[in-house]
Structure 1
Amino acid sequence: MEDTNNLQRPSFKEALKFWFKLGWISFGGTAGHIAIMHDYLVDKKKWISNSKFHHALSHCMILPGPEAQQLATYIGWQLHGKRGGLVAGILFVLPSMFILLGLSIVYVLFGNLPWIYAMFNGLKPAVIAIIIIALFKIAQKSLHGPLHIILAAIAFVCIFFYNISMLLIIAGTIVIALLMKYIWPSLYHKRNKSIEEESADERRYFLNRYSVAPDAGFAGKRIFKQLGIGLLLWIIPFILFYFLTDDFRFWTGLSLFFTKTAFVTVGGSYTVLPYVAQFSVTKLNWLTNLQMVDGFALAETTPGPLIIVLAFVGFMAGYNHFNGSLWMGSIGLIATTFYTFLPCFLFIFIGAPIIEKTQGNPVIEGVLGFITAAVVGVILNLTLFLGKSVIFPGEVTIAGLDYISLAWVIVSLFLMLRFRMNVIYLIMLSILFGLAHYFIGM
């Protein structure tokens, strides 16, 4: 790291305190996570400049995985090397994993009680509203013209009507993007506005635009070492499953499935959730549509990345497969978390130094823009897939319409759009609504 400022590197102990605290207070989704980190790291502590912060964020948006968790890993890595990156990334996830484990156990033990069931009935419409708003926000940022809209529509048709794999949709989108480079090259010359920072102001921060990232550039020996360590960590649970469990085939399938999902999360958590929701419900039969919506609700009540909802899917998979075993459900949740986030650390430690060399490349930016546009169509499919289970619990007819749920979806949208209601407050209000509806019905 070049000596480009007058500030000393923050101590590892000081950084550790922040990363631990962040894991417990990081509510509000990706935008909330990023806001908390920006307020503390940039504005209060001046550990990293605004331009460097957004520079790191842009890298994390390129890589598969939850952006906020990888941003914490990335900044931890720049501050204190791999040790700092591991601590930042792990502490970002662990609190939400333990909280979700406790909530999942309560859910399967007491979810059939009428008043608990009523609480989730109140939460489900609010979750659909949250997903709808996420869809429009992503669409607003991702669809830049007719071509992007057409790609989003094609992606939606592929997954909704023909159940085409998301991996194939992404692969097809990349092919289309590369073809368009030659057919319509002007698309690749659109650049986002850079963040303006005065040069003198940059030097007030420990990490700034003039800082040299650790291990920057391509280094084959380092990469092969990291891949070897990652592969070893990936294999160890398989060995444990083989010798310590009765159904090795099930655990192999779960581990491979969530490893694969970790590689298709370009664009954030909402990118992979449609794939997991549809595949785990319709093909693997790990849980039902309504249980998947309940998982969204539980994940929204925990800090950390929304992708932690996958841990709930893993819990339900183990719980249901082993005939209501809380122990197997807990192992499923821990295994899912491990295989979902292990690749994230490899993406940062291996990918970030290399990707820095390609920042601003118009071809790469163009391809990513096409992929993000296709993601909008995939998220639309998720919205309809889960929304149908809530608004039409039976047949999709006027008689099968749940008017109460539809009304609460509309109310939730109004509260979030008109009054900017915080998601946590909306969840609490929705729980009260569900209970009130239940007791009034009695």
Structure 2
Amino acid sequence: MSNVSQAPTPKAALTERPRYTLWQLVGYMLRLGTLGFGGPVALAGYMHRDLVDRRQWITDADYKEGLALAQLAPGPLAAQLAIYLGYVHYRIAGATLVGIAFVLPSFLMVLALGWAYVRFGGLTWMQSVFYGVGAAVIGIIAISAYKLTTKSVGKDRLLWAIYLVLAAVTVVTESEIAWMFLAAGLLVWFWRAPPKWLRQGGLHAAAATQLPLAGGVAGTIDWPLLAQIAVFFAKAGAFVFGSGLAIVPFLYGGVVTDFHWLNEKQFVDAVAVAMITPGPVVITVGFIGYLVAGLPGASVAALATFLPCYLFTVLPAPYFKKYGKLPAILAFVDGVTAAAVGAITGAVIVLARRSIVDVPTVLLALCTVALLLRFRKLPEPVIVAGAALIGLVIYPLMHH
């Protein structure tokens, strides 16, 4: 993400008329959603490189505003940034079409993988693949957590305290407690920028929006299981901040611990599927929805997860230029981000207990960490593919 801070593109060049059509941008996002590996930070980096530096379709100032809003609002960062960039010149139509184009390719891929998993999940080769991939995924999430920690928490003692508390709570409870995220944001806000105007804050409005949304999604569906899926995933989409990986502990708490829709092995496999496919990591919700209730479950889970993030991007976009730089808002974001990164770190430990089951899986996870630290630009899918091949060889030998 180092390229984000380069000199801004001249504003005048883009204020009159956009230098691209809406369909050109939709085409770009469709391609990025199909080929864009590497997680949210990498995807955001590609957008800056292609749309700001190379094509100069978007100004640096607009990009940075989109990135700041994506970090501020709950939901998957890369998807929200894409939605905001669609909004810049083409407003609601642009935001909507770009959002669909960015998410659709990976959704179709996880549907295909979900079908194969259900159809062939009992076969040794499928178990072998996920045996290797599951261990590698732990290494990938561990490195992501490390990078997010150094970038987001820094040397701030208050943020470190929040980070450690959330990591510990996630490990102990094996779930994500949404109100602790909001509490962390409020704590940093009150500490750094004590508000004189507490009753005027926009925070309560943002926190309240997911309630009618979740209820509205559930109210239109008769089948109780789909209604449950809709409400749960709408909550997940409305409460998860920052990296797409932040949704992992939240989903684990609901899908495995509370509802018992999946067992632990299936859940780790679902996270692995999100790592294998390009596009946003959050698309794992489509795979989980498919395992729980087939195609309707996948569709409802994906729609319920991405609808809050779409609304949290489009609704505040007109006001964000005016209020986005307020110290209170920046402090709140820092607190929530530290909490989210702490929860991701805790989730690494929780999930590692399920995937790191013997000596080969320990070695696979450690090798993944070592490779990612040594070769900074090594694409994660290459590691995942290698781990799958190793799993195919080793799993049958270990489980004779």
Match of 2:391 among 434, 438, 441: 434
Please tell me whether the aligned partners of residues 64 and 268 of structure 1 are also in contact (alpha carbons under 8 angstroms). no
1:361 aligns with 2:326: yes
- SS class of match (2:361): helix
1:249 aligns with 2:224: yes
Please tell me whether the aligned partners of residues 66 and 265 of structure 1 are also in contact (alpha carbons under 8 angstroms). yes
Please tell me whether the aligned partners of residues 189 and 335 of structure 2 are also in contact (alpha carbons under 8 angstroms). no
Matched residues in 2 for 1:105 and 1:260: separation? 26
| Counterpart position of 1:201 | none
TM-score using structure 2 length: 0.86
Matched residues in 2 for 1:113 and 1:163: separation? 29
Q: Deviations over 1:197-256 (max 9, x none)?
A: xxxxxxxxxxxxxxxxxxxxx9xxxx9xxx9xx9799847743x32xxxxx222221111
More helix by share: 2
| Counterpart position of 1:30 | 40
Q: Deviations over 1:399-426 (max 9, x none)?
A: xxx1111011111111111123210100
| Counterpart position of 1:173 | 184
Change (3 A) 1:331 1:361: same
- SS class of match (1:112): coil
Matched residues in 1 for 2:176 and 2:355: separation? 24
Higher-Rg structure is 1
Question: Counterparts in 2 of 1:3-402, with a 5 A limit?
Answer: 4-5=12-13, 8-9=17-18, 10-143=20-153, 144-162=155-173, 166-181=177-192, 235=216, 238-239=219-220, 241-242=221-222, 248-318=223-293, 329-392=294-357, 402=358
- SS class of match (1:5): helix
Report % sequence identity.
Answer: 28
Gaps of 5+ in 2: 1-10, 196-201
TM-score using structure 1 length: 0.78
Matched residues in 2 for 1:182 and 1:58: separation? 18
* Paired residue type of 2:300: A
- SS class of match (1:81): helix
Change (3 A) 1:43 1:175: closer
* Paired residue type of 1:433: I
Matched residues in 2 for 1:389 and 1:431: separation? 17
| Aligned-pair CA distance for 1:23 | 2.2
Change (3 A) 1:232 1:182: closer
| Counterpart position of 1:407 | 363
- SS class of match (2:13): coil
* Paired residue type of 1:381: G
* Paired residue type of 1:285: H
Q: How many equivalent residue pairs?
A: 373
* Paired residue type of 2:367: V
| Counterpart position of 1:197 | none
Greater alpha carbon shift after TM alignment, 105-114 vs 309-318:
309-318
- SS class of match (1:73): helix
* Paired residue type of 2:303: F
Please tell me whether the aligned partners of residues 19 and 87 of structure 1 are also in contact (alpha carbons under 8 angstroms). no
Matched residues in 1 for 2:233 and 2:75: separation? 12
Q: Deviations over 1:42-86 (max 9, x none)?
A: 122211122331222111111111111111111111121211111
Q: Deviations over 1:148-192 (max 9, x none)?
A: 211112223333335675222123223422442478x9xxxxxxx
Matched residues in 2 for 1:236 and 1:356: separation? 30
Matched residues in 1 for 2:175 and 2:296: separation? 30
Gaps of 5+ in 1: 186-217, 243-247, 319-328, 393-401
Matched residues in 2 for 1:100 and 1:179: separation? 42
Matched residues in 1 for 2:174 and 2:381: separation? 33
Matched residues in 1 for 2:186 and 2:139: separation? 34
Matched residues in 2 for 1:39 and 1:142: separation? 22
Please tell me whether the aligned partners of residues 118 and 435 of structure 1 are also in contact (alpha carbons under 8 angstroms). yes
